[in-house]
Amino acid sequence: MERKLKHVAVPASEITPKELYFSRRDWLKAMGIVSAAALLAACAPRVGQTPLETAAGRGSGPAPTDELGDPANTFEQITNYNNYYEFSTDKQAVNPLSANFRASPWAVEVGGLVHKPKTYALEDLLRFEQVERVYRLRCVEAWSMVIPWTGFELNRLLAEVEPMTSARYVRFTALLDPQQFPGQRSPFYPWPYTEGLRLDEAMHRLTLIATGLYGEPLPNPNGAPLRLVVPWKYGFKSIKAIVRIELTEEQPATLWNTIAPNEYGFYSNVNPEVDHPRWSQRTERRIGELGRRETLMFNGYGEEVAGLYAGMDLRVNY
């Protein structure tokens, strides 16, 4: 069962797309969405508070698991080992350096090839149905975590701005603010961080705009107040601290693809068959575990997303 955050109204437009080949309930189960019962158990001593005020799921009580049965990483792991180059290239330095980041007020400009461009305040975006998704995050550096996100499907937002028929891609831009981001004082990277998806990837139901994790507002090291989550792609596609979303006709340039196109392709689907030029992608280290795990094609989401790439050579379109 999907949990709706209590402080936000549920839109009348809660429509399950008809083309789903399995029922909504089966899919929610398959995706490892935390049951309301599990969440209530986890925050039982705090009944009466809204979910955003509680530490639902990260104290005592059962840890959420993904649909493969693996437990979520702890809140401490998820917020203390971060890639966020605007702050630092040192994963353990991101948390302290981001402590005073101003994630509020925040606005996201949605435009480009859309009929109804609009600038959304964070509060406007929290009106889209908020869901819980326990997703694996697989970094291109060959480590991974399991993260219980809250957020909304990007397709809800895109539908509202009405893409033009000419729109084929979505370009995401993160905040540019060298005052707050010490890493942006380094001229080595072409700031701001940018990313992109094909429109059908962006519309896919697994593609999330995360606004929280473990039932709390998104922590600063994870991209407060909102970031993209595309669970079948390498982690760098899941851009943090988004301020602009634009629909385009041409494939957008992205930060990593601009710096090293031979190492970081536009698609960057998790693929154990295609090695990074400098290391193998066959296995990964799950944070908190000793051994290594086999990396799964599309990070284990192939049943849902492989169809997006039918007829494409994934060695060429890496």
Where in 72-91 is the site for ligand MTE (CB under 6 A)?
Answer: 82-86
| Among 79, 83, 98, 144, interactor with Mo ion by CB under 5 A | 83
Give residue number: closest CB to Mo ion: 139
Q: Does 139 contact Mo ion by CB under 5 A? A: yes
Among 133, 136, 233, 240, binds ligand MTE (CB under 6 A): 240
CB 230 within 8 A of CB 298: no
Applying CB under 6 A, does 114 fall inside the site for ligand MTE? no
Residue for token digits 């908020």?
Answer: 130
Which tokens hold the place of 243? Answer: 């301020």
Length of the chain: 318
At 262, the amino acid letter reads N
Non-local (6+) Cβ contacts of 189 within 8 A are 85, 183, 255, 259
> Binding partner of residue 240 among Mo ion, ligand MTE, none, CB under 5 to 8 Å per kind?
ligand MTE
Q: Which is nearer to ligand MTE, 148 or 163 (CB)?
A: 148
- Which residues in the 269-288 window bind ligand MTE by CB under 6 A? none
Please tell me whether residue 171 binds ligand MTE under the rule CB under 6 A. Answer: no
Cα–Cα distance between 106 and 116 in angstroms, integer?
Answer: 20
Q: Which does 137 bind (CB under 5 to 8 A by kind): ligand MTE, Mo ion, none?
A: ligand MTE
**Phi/psi zone of residue 48: left (φ > 0), alpha (ψ -120 to 50 degrees), beta?**
left
The residue range among 117-125, 238-246, 295-303, 310-318 that interacts with ligand MTE, by the rule CB under 6 A, is: 238-246
Least distance in angstroms from the C-beta of 78 to ligand MTE: 6
**Owner of token pair 């698609």:** 267
**CB distance 13 to 143 below 8 Å:** no
For residue 84, list its beta bridge partners.
88
Among 236, 256, 264, 267, binds Mo ion (CB under 5 A): 236
Per rule CB under 5 A, is residue 192 in the interface with Mo ion? no
In the complex, residue closest to ligand MTE by CB: 235
Residue 294, beta-bridge partner list: 283
Residue 192: asked if its preceding bond is cis (omega within 30°), the reply is yes
Sites for ligand MTE among residues 202-231 (CB under 6 A): 222
Q: How far is CA 90 from CA 80, 81, 83, 221, 290, in A?
A: 10, 9, 8, 12, 21
Contact pick of 131, 139, 226, 245 for ligand MTE (by CB under 6 A) = 139
Q: Least CB distance from residue 213 to ligand MTE, whole Å?
A: 8
Choice between 101 and 120, CB closer to ligand MTE = 101
Placement of tokens 């797309």 in the chain: 17
Detail the DSSP E strand segments found in 48-205. 107-112, 118-121, 131-138, 143-153, 169-174, 194-198
Q: Of these partners, Mo ion, ligand MTE, none, which one is at the site of residue 108 (CB under 5 to 8 Å by kind)?
A: none
Residues found near ligand MTE in the complex (CB under 6 A): 82-86, 137, 139, 174, 193, 222, 235-236, 238-241
